[in-house]
Amino acid sequence: DNRELRKRGGGLFGANPLTGSIGVVTVNLPRLGYLCQTEEQFFVELEKLMVLAKNSLEIKRKALENFTLSDLYPYTKFYLSGVFDRDKKYWGNHFSTIGLVGMNEACINFLNADISTIEGKTFAVKVLDFMRDRIMKFQEETGHFYNLEATPAEGVTYRFARSDKNLYPDIKTAGKNEPYYTNSVHLPVNHTDDLFEVLDHQDELQTKFTGGTVVHLFLGEKIDDIEVVKSLVRRIAESYALPYFTLTPTFSICPIHGYLTGEHKYCPYDHSPEELLKYGIEVDI
């Protein structure tokens, strides 16, 4: 049923066997928030970008299918042969993915309020619902699977922000010395150290995505007792609906001794003068 937005269930990061994504197009939300004056204009322009993303992904899907039929991807052709036997398309079980970046800065530029506010979060939910609705229509129109992803955007957060700053010097971004956009629908960096405040805020937003998404929880301290971690994971899993989360303890890295639990300005272990000199630390011998 192409009226249903499917999820890549099971497996690592929600990936069933013989599926995946043919590609991702990421929407620059902060630029929309800066350029649009009304909510109606915002959603009209967002729809234009999503249609452009759909057209781009349809062209890529057609190219991939032709390349596979022409034996340019022999291993892929072998592994997807079962899909071809069923659908007469090698890539029929793969998704076309549309993602987003910078919901927080979109709210700041458009509403003059960040995503942590009631106004900002309400707007973010509305945007995600709109994108889900359009993606569902794309599925009906094309007969191909589409999903909505919280794009990891490790590089594009900086690239989009830098490009926008060059075009629109007064656009609001994150970062003081170097501009960047906050990932997907996350709270601003260093907004809070309270894990459950993050979870309460993100739960409704994270469940809107049908592709990859994750909430990273930074503990701010080292892990001493694995049973405490198990209890925390169980409590989160039972109390919240968000699909994926990670726990990151505070740790340090020594170039000699590697991973160290907790925060250390200096490595607590002994180092030889030769080791210190190797890493540019002057010592009196």
- The strand pairing partners of 246, in sequence order, are 216
* Range of the structural domain that residue 108 is part of: 12-213
Per-residue pLDDT tens over the stretch 166-204: 999 999 999 888 999 999 999 998 888 899 999 999 999
With b for 16 or more beta-carbon neighbours within 10 A and e for fewer, the 208-232 pattern comes to: bbbbbbbbebeeeeebeeeeeeeee
- For residue 223, being part of any structural domain is answered with no
Could you give the percent of the chain with pLDDT greater than 70? 92
Whether residue 241 is contained in a domain is answered as: no
Residue ranges of E strands in 230-269: 245-248, 251-254, 258-261
Strand partners, 97: 24, 147
The more confidently predicted of residues 214 and 14 is: 214
User: Is the predicted pLDDT of residue 240 greater than 80, yes or no?
Assistant: yes
* pLDDT given for residue 284 in this prediction: 60
pLDDT of residue 3: 47
pLDDT for res 16: 61
For residue 243, pLDDT beyond 80: yes
Does 140 map to a domain? yes
Determine, yes or no, domain membership for 120: yes
Q: Is the pTM of this model over 0.95?
A: no
Residue 143 belongs to some domain of the structure: yes
pLDDT (0 to 100) of residue 283: 58
pLDDT for 7: 53
Q: Does residue 83 belong to any structural domain of this protein?
A: yes
Report the candidate in 99, 103, 214 with the shortest Cα–Cα distance to residue 149: 99
Report the number of distinct structural domains present in the chain: 1
Nearest CA to 249 out of 215, 220, 228, 224 is that of: 220
Length of the chain as a residue count: 285
Residue 255 resides in a domain: no
Task: Quickly state the pLDDT bin for 112 (edges 50, 70, 90).
Answer: very high
Q: Is residue 147 part of a domain?
A: yes
